[in-house]
Amino acid sequence: MEYAAIEDLPEKEALKELSSSELDALGKLWKEKKGELENSGEYRNFIKRMQREWAIETGIIERLYSWDRGVTETLIDQGVDSSLISHVGGINRDEAENIARMIQDQQSIVEGLFFPL
DSSP conformational letter for 76: H
The pTM is what?
0.65
DSSP track, 8-53? PPPPHHHHHHH--HHHHHHHHHHHHHHHHHHTSHHHHHHHHHHHHH
Q: Are 101 and 93 in contact (CB under 8 A)?
A: no
Q: Which of 64, 68, 77 is nearest to 103 (CA)?
A: 64
Give the type of residue at 18: L
Mean pLDDT of 100-115: 88
Question: pLDDT digits over 42-68, tens only?
Answer: 888 888 899 999 999 999 999 999 998
* Cα 116 to Cα 54: distance, rounded to the nearest angstrom: 15
